[in-house]
Structures are given as C-alpha cells and as structure tokens.
A and B are shown apart, each in its own frame.
Chain A
Amino acid sequence: MAARFRAPGFYRAALMMLGGVLFATALTWIVRMATGHATFHHYLSPDAILTVSLIAVPLAFLVGIGGFDYWFYWAAGRATRPEDHSSHGASSWKDYFRINTDHKVIGVQYTVNSFFFLLVGGLIAMLMRAQLAQPGSHFVDGNTFNGLFSVHASLLIFLFIIPVFAGLGNFVIPLMIGAPDMAFPRLNALSFWLLPVAGLMMLGSFFAPGGAFADGWTAYAPLSVNAPIGQTFFALGVQFAGASSIMTALNFLVTIITMRAPGMSFFRMPLLVWANFATSLLVVIATPFIAASQFFVLLDRALGFNFFNAAKGGDVLMYQHVFWFYSHPAVYIMMLPGFGIISEVIAVKARKPIFGYRMMAFSLLAIVGLGFTVWAHHMFTSGMAAWIRIPMAITTAVIAVPTGIKIFSWLATLWRGVLHLDTAMLFALGFLTTFTLGGISGVMLAMVPFDIHVSATYFIVAHIHYVLFGGSLMTIYAGVYYWFPKMTGRMYDERLGKWHFWTTFVFFNLTFGPMHILGLQGMPRRVSTYASQFADLNLFISIASFGLGLSTLLFIYNIITSWRGGPRAVGNPWRALTLEWQVSSPPPVFNFDRVPTVVGGPYEYGVPGAVHGIFAPAPSPTVADAGAGVVHAPSQ
C-alpha cells in the first residue's frame, strides 16, 4: 500500500493534493496572524485559503502524478533513470492515464482531453440557447447565465482549440519531419497534465461560493476585481493552460529547428510544420501577456494592489491593452495550425502540389508579424486615445492580405485537380466557405465607424463563431478525420462522416448566420434576456443550435465505434507523400525504424516518380539536385 503512495500516479497525487490544502491553510493562517488580523474568525479566511489552494493543489497534483520526478531526482543528485524510452507507447487504455513521454501517446491524450472539453463547452452552449430561446425566460438565473457564457468561452479557447491543435501537432509533427520524438519528451508530458488541471479548475468554479466566474472570458477589470471567488479560478486556471501552451510551443520550436531529418530544409517542410512553427512563435511571445493580465487581477483581488482601481490611481484601460496584446495573437494561435491542416488535406485530396508553396509559408510569417500590431482593434470603443484607432484599422485591414493569399492559393490548388470528396476534404471545403465569411466580417469590423455600432454585439458573436467554429473547428474536424487512420490504426465510417459534415455545415450557418442581423439590429451580447423585438430570430437560432449540438453526436459515435472496431488502416490510405504516411498505422514506437532522408518537396503530386522522403541511404548528389529542380519548376 505504501508503495502505491510513493510511486508516481493518482494515489500519490491525491495524497499530495491533501498536503497542498493543509499547506495553504497553514500558510494563510500564519500570514494572517502575523499581519494582525485580530479575531480568530479572520485567521481562517475561506477566500484566502481557497486562493492559495488553487496554486498549491494543482502543483501538488503535478508532483504526485510524476511530472517532475526526473528533475527532482537529478536536482537531488540521486540516480536518474536514463531516458531509455521505457515508458514509450501505450499497450492499454490505462497507459493514457499516466505520465507518458511518447509524443504519440501525448498527442492522443491532448486530443481526447480537448474533445472532452469541447463536449462540455458545447453542452454549456446548449444551456445558454435554452435560456435565450425566449426573452425573459428563467431557465437559469442571471448569475448562472453569466457564468455559463464565461466558462463556455474559456473552455473552448483555452482547453479546446489551442490544445487540440497542439495535440494534433504533437502526434504528427515529429513524424512529418522524420524525428523519433519531440525534443523534450518530459516537458511534453508535463505540458499535457497541466491541461486537465486548468480545465477542471475552470469547470470547478461552478461549485465555488458565489458561482462560476461570470465576467466573460475577457474578465475586464474592475468588474473581475470585485467579483466572487469564482473569478480566481479563471485567473489561475489561465496560468496553467498558458504554461502548457508555452512549454509545448518551445518544444515545437526546438523540435522543428533541430530535429528535421537529413535533407528536410525549411522549404521542404510540410505546411503544417510551418504553421506550427509560426504559431509557436506567437505563443512564446504573446502568452506571458495574458498571464500578466490575470496576475494583475489576482493581486488586485487578493492583496489590494489597486492596479485597476481608478480612485487609487489605477488604470482601467491598461488591463485591456495587456489582455488583447495576447488575445489578439491568440486568434491566430487558434487559426494558423488550422491553415496548416487545410494545406495538407487539400494537397493530398486534390492530388496536386500546393499552389505557391513559398507564399503560403511567408504569409504565415507575415501574419505572425502583423498579428502583434492589431490588438487595439478590440478597443475601438474602449475610450482609449482616439488616434490609436487609425494605425490599428490599417494594420487590421492589411492582415487580411496574407490570409487572402492563402485562400486564393488553396482555390488554385483545387483547380484541375482530382478531387477526392471524402469527409476530410468536405470539411476543408466547408472551412473555405465559412472562414471566408468570417474573414469578410472581420474586415468590416476593421472599419471604425461600423465597428463603433456593432462592437460587443451579436455581430461580434457571429463573427467570432464564423472564425473559430467555421474556421478552427472545421479544420480540426478535417484534421481528425485525415489523421484518424494514422493515430488509431483504424478507418472511420465515411458515410457517417459525410452526414456529420453536412449536418454541421447546415446547422452551423443556421445558428450563427442570423446572429449578424441581431447585432446590427441592436442586440448586445452577454445578456440573459433581451428586447421582445429579437424573439423570433433567437428562437430560430436556439432550434438550429440544438441541431448543431446533435450533429456532434454523429462524430462522437463514429469516432468511438471506428476506434473500437473499424477496419484496419494501411500505412498510407490517402497515398500521401509526407513522411508520417510512410510508416505503419499506428506508427512504430520510435516512429522510424530507419531515419528517412528527404529528397524533395512534400506535395509533388503529379510529378512522375516524385518522392518526398526515402528510407534508403541518400542518393548521389546529382540525383538529389535533379529532384530539387523539380520542386521549384515554374508552371506554364
């Protein structure tokens, strides 16, 4: 029994977490006594204990589960287990519930965990639409409703879109670049286990006194400073999710820069690798800013720092600048990996090279650069200095150019191809449609006089869902269907997949399309009731949204049954050239029995005899040069 509590795992984690609570209680008690909180009642402040516990307990859990074992052993000078990859691979489902350093296991952990939070976030959306089906309804009370939309957004941003891309990338990228694993496998494992911690903290806030955090995912100060303790769950949950993002981004950067197979130059990398490279730059640079914004709020809340107390010299607008300096680049963090997925899917399913590969890569980097210069377009009506609107409007309009280049290049890739219209491709084409609409409404929002009318209305709700659902989620579905055979070794049910696409596509547009009109007509977002003139459209939207919710069940059913009993997948069911398809499905524990050598571009479809990578020794230089010549041959 005692051994169970000493070995890394859930038993030790539970014990450690108990220790965390005791530590938090003792610490706050001592500090409050020492700082003269006179009465016994005040020695034990539940809010103070809870706040410290929210830092101590998750850290204790991570220690208990074994996230730090190697480093602790090493720091203490004790014998470390050499990295023999003995914990690689998963032989049963239980292996997914322990610390595992195999990027393929971690990729699956990430993805499944993210989809769990997608379902929770989606269910929360259903509750919201039930409340909004009629004006003045009392399905939930006002405070609960504010909690619902806040948790909905926070879960889907921080626990679904951002990590699911990291999860798919985790599985695919080392395979794509011909590496045996990520550069830092232990960091990789730790970065995963931070996510359920962050997610459960955000969900757990519903059980906090005063209810869940209810100030939106934007958590604008000073409202968030004076909110009940649930807000602390957000302020600290974001730290864990953000730390996870940063760790993974560093891991991607080092892996992509240093672990590419021989011959894999930057311009022979698949565009998904480029996309994750670009995204990781954004994550590493931007994420500390949201961490800072929430630490400001936390310090204001817990210790009275008055960062955002105008009466004490605080600066309310500063919160928004710091917050959006992360949260605008975050929109690209949530979109660039999707661009990468679409490039992979469209090239393979249209059987053509990506049109304008280099511009596709450069446009990603352009978005990274420009992405840091547009944040205040979220603040056109914030009361900030008026002149800031001018440069921010220009950069916001200009950032549509590299995005447009990508859309047009995908269209040109389709042209004269041989289109395999399976589920992944349908989602890719659906994405092109809905994301174009989201991009158009985004350009409209760059126009300041128009934004002044619709800022913070349902038009924004429509826009963000066209970008994050019609954009990101469509690409995620495309990616999951595309790599499902590689990840699970099974084929999914194509017929169910197509049903899933069509129901999602139709109900998505029926749900979010009308929201544009609601916003233009004058309906604010984040309200639990509304003027009666908006009743008809809202009822329509609610009904459509339930259809959208049900369509997700087709996906879940398809994935679960196919994973359990789908037909066995061959190594390369799509006849793709990129390296991950040149190994078995699922791949061997160490990915490549022999290190591949890359001899050409990743998308040379239609080039007679073209290969991307070979597993034999590299050919003589003349042959390699000839291959490279084909890659860059101009079209006629």
Chain B
Amino acid sequence: MGRQQRPIVIAAVSAVIAIAIGIVISYAIHWFPAQASTQAKESDTLYHVLVIASIPIFVIVVSVILYSVWQFHMKPGEELKDGPPIHGNTRLEVFWTAIPTVLLLGLVGYSFVVLRNNEKKPAHEIQIGVTGQQFAWSYQYPPSVTGGAAVNSNQLYVPKGTSVDFAMRSNDVIHAFWIPAFRLQEDVVPGITTHWRTTPTLTGDYPVVCNLLCGLGHSLMRSTVHVVPEAQFKAWIASQLSASSGGSTSGGASG
C-alpha cells in the first residue's frame, strides 16, 4: 500500500463503519406506531429494505464530499492552482446510470409485490361502510355483518383476524381515512366510493385520523378503531342491534 493511498483507505473503512452503524440505528429507532395488521407487517418490511438500500447511497455521497474537503481543499500557495482537466469517463458514467436504474427498478418491483399482497381479496371478508363528514366519522355495518338490521354507529369495531373491506363515502368534501396502526389510508371522495382492506392482527385501540385537509375542524377529526376478538365483536354488534331496536339509530356513546 502506497503512502498516497492511506487517506482513501481510511475513508473507505470509515464509510463501511458508518453504513454499519446507520443500519444498526435504523433498527433501533421506533419508526412506526403499533403494527396491527398484516398489511402493516409487509409495509414495514418494505420500509426497512428501503432504508437499508438508502443508507449506503447517502454514506457514499457524504463520504466523497468529506473526503474531498479533507484531501482537496485549497492549501496555502495553491491560490492560483487548478485541478486536473478531467472531462469525464464514459465507463464510470454508464456505471452510475445503470446501477441505480437496476436498483430502483428492483425496489419498485418489490413494492408492487407488497402492494399486490396487501390488496389481494381473501376468500372471506366483511364490509364496513365509512362515511366522512365535516368533521366526524361514522361507520355502517350492513346486514351481512350484523345478521340483522344495518347498524350505523360513530364507533368503529373490527374483529381481529378477519379481513375488512372499508367502503368509504363522503357527504361533503374530500377526507382521508387513515389508520396509522394499519399503515393504510385512502381519500374519501364525494361522488365515488373508495375502498381499502385490512386484516387486523393485534387487539387494541388505535387512532383513526382524517388525513386530508377538510376545513376548520380537520385537526380534530379523529376517532378510534377498536380491534377486538371475534366473539367480542359479535357481542358489540348484538348490543348495537338491541340498542337500535330500542329506538336509538345512531348507536353507542361517542368516543
């Protein structure tokens, strides 16, 4: 190893260490809220793959900058000196065109696989209606779900382990129905019905957020999704049915 090559070895080793540290840190950070659906699992894996692919690129760019600043900054006496007149290098340029193209197309191809898995229609699924209205959500449980009359509620209960298809409509402007714990959202658009489907995997209460500016009360257009075991879901539906036959159509206390 020549003396001239020492700095570049130091830089290369530092870059490799930085990449390793970056990847370790990317696993240590809690990026996401609870992972409460099959879709969330797939989507989070995709995110980690993207981060791991990105770290070396960023580290290489920064390493070259820092190395250039370290080694090539103007030293005293070089005020009138120019660098070597290198105009290009076709091989290098082909390399840094082709490699990113392959990498990007590979990643986008993988993302399509995730997308297909996440949107695949399962053999059995239930449908729940979602209605957005300035500035509250309401949920419609059709007879196919309730086994009786349709239930309209401002509470969202979903059974754990069952695929749910949300059919979303808006009464006024565009909203976006987003459940961060499921990693899924879609706009709720006046005039059309939009959909997304999820299979909840973790019982608990998670935020439902309106994620598209819908007016003055947008900031507070939040709700909660209760992921509960199948039996508890049935019991809640039954309580709603009896409540509505008792005269109330809106069902459930707010919250």
8 Å CB contact of B43 from A436, A449, A521, A605: A449
User: Most B CB atoms within 10 A — which of A394, A449, A517, A635?
Assistant: A449
Closest to B98 in A: A401
Would you call B245 an interface residue if the criterion is a C-beta within 8 Å of the partner chain's C-beta atoms? no
CA distance A393 to B88 in the complex (A): 31
* Stretch binding the partner chain, chosen from B121-129, B144-152, B178-186: B178-186
- Please indicate the chain A residues that have their CB under 8 angstroms from the CB of B47 in the complex: 444, 450, 520
- Please indicate the chain A residues that have their CB under 8 angstroms from the CB of B6 in the complex: none
The reply to whether B219 and A447 form a contact with Cβ atoms under 8 Å apart is no
The reply to whether A604 and B85 form a contact with Cβ atoms under 8 Å apart is yes
CA distance A310 to B174 in the complex (A): 11
* Stretch binding the partner chain, chosen from B64-72, B153-161, B234-242: B64-72
Binary per-residue interface labels of chain A (203-234) against chain B in the complex, 1 for a CB within 8 Å, 0 otherwise = 00000000000111000101100100000000
Binary per-residue interface labels of chain B (86-117) against chain A in the complex, 1 for a CB within 8 Å, 0 otherwise = 11111011001100110011011001101100
The reply to whether A407 and B65 form a contact with Cβ atoms under 8 Å apart is no
The reply to whether A310 and B46 form a contact with Cβ atoms under 8 Å apart is no
Interface residues of A in 430-470 (CB under 8 A from B): 432-433, 436-437, 440, 443-444, 446-450, 452-453, 455-457
Closest to B190 in A: A310
CA distance A389 to B220 in the complex (A): 30
- Please indicate the chain A residues that have their CB under 8 angstroms from the CB of B184 in the complex: 452-453
Closest to A631 in B: B87
From residue B95, how far is it (CB to closest CB) to chain A in Å? Answer: 9
From residue A472, how far is it (CB to closest CB) to chain B in Å? Answer: 18
Would you call A404 an interface residue if the criterion is a C-beta within 8 Å of the partner chain's C-beta atoms? yes
The reply to whether A393 and B108 form a contact with Cβ atoms under 8 Å apart is yes
Would you call A526 an interface residue if the criterion is a C-beta within 8 Å of the partner chain's C-beta atoms? yes
CA distance A526 to B46 in the complex (A): 27
CA distance A562 to B212 in the complex (A): 45
The reply to whether B216 and A146 form a contact with Cβ atoms under 8 Å apart is yes
8 Å CB contact of A607 from B69, B81, B85: B85
CA distance A226 to B134 in the complex (A): 13
- Please indicate the chain B residues that have their CB under 8 angstroms from the CB of A526 in the complex: 213, 218
Would you call B247 an interface residue if the criterion is a C-beta within 8 Å of the partner chain's C-beta atoms? no
Would you call B211 an interface residue if the criterion is a C-beta within 8 Å of the partner chain's C-beta atoms? yes
Would you call B54 an interface residue if the criterion is a C-beta within 8 Å of the partner chain's C-beta atoms? yes
What bracket does the count of chain B residues touching chain A fall in? 35 or more
The reply to whether A450 and B46 form a contact with Cβ atoms under 8 Å apart is yes
CA distance A453 to B184 in the complex (A): 5
8 Å CB contact of B32 from A389, A404, A521, A524: A521
CA distance A613 to B196 in the complex (A): 62
From residue A636, how far is it (CB to closest CB) to chain B in Å? Answer: 8
Closest to B34 in A: A522
Closest to B189 in A: A383
CA distance A446 to B109 in the complex (A): 11
Q: A397-B108, A421-B74, A447-B50 are in contact. Are A359 and B115 (CB under 8 A)?
A: no
Binary per-residue interface labels of chain B (27-38) against chain A in the complex, 1 for a CB within 8 Å, 0 otherwise = 001011100000
- Please indicate the chain B residues that have their CB under 8 angstroms from the CB of A316 in the complex: 174, 189-192
The reply to whether A381 and B185 form a contact with Cβ atoms under 8 Å apart is yes
8 Å CB contact of B68 from A351, A419, A433, A575: A419
- Please indicate the chain A residues that have their CB under 8 angstroms from the CB of B78 in the complex: 418
Binary per-residue interface labels of chain A (380-406) against chain B in the complex, 1 for a CB within 8 Å, 0 otherwise = 011100100110011001101100110
Would you call A623 an interface residue if the criterion is a C-beta within 8 Å of the partner chain's C-beta atoms? no
Would you call A289 an interface residue if the criterion is a C-beta within 8 Å of the partner chain's C-beta atoms? no
The reply to whether A419 and B178 form a contact with Cβ atoms under 8 Å apart is no
Binary per-residue interface labels of chain B (42-66) against chain A in the complex, 1 for a CB within 8 Å, 0 otherwise = 1100110010001001100110110
From residue B204, how far is it (CB to closest CB) to chain A in Å? Answer: 14
Would you call B217 an interface residue if the criterion is a C-beta within 8 Å of the partner chain's C-beta atoms? yes
Would you call B73 an interface residue if the criterion is a C-beta within 8 Å of the partner chain's C-beta atoms? yes
CA distance A86 to B228 in the complex (A): 80
Would you give 21 A-B contacts (Cβ < 8 Å), ordered by A?
A215-B213, A310-B190, A311-B190, A316-B174, A317-B189, A352-B82, A352-B83, A352-B84, A353-B86, A381-B186, A389-B115, A393-B112, A404-B96, A414-B64, A421-B73, A436-B62, A449-B115, A457-B211, A530-B219, A607-B85, A631-B87
Chain A contact residues, CB within 8 Å of chain B: 142-143, 146, 214-216, 220, 222-223, 226, 310-311, 314-317, 350-353, 355-359, 381-383, 386, 389-390, 393-394, 397-398, 400-401, 404-405, 407-409, 411-412, 414-421, 429, 432-433, 436-437, 440, 443-444, 446-450, 452-453, 455-457, 517, 520-522, 524, 526-531, 575, 604-607, 610, 631-635
8 further A-B contacts with Cβ under 8 Å, apart from A359-B93, A401-B100, A447-B107, are A146-B218, A310-B192, A316-B190, A407-B61, A421-B73, A436-B62, A446-B108, A522-B33
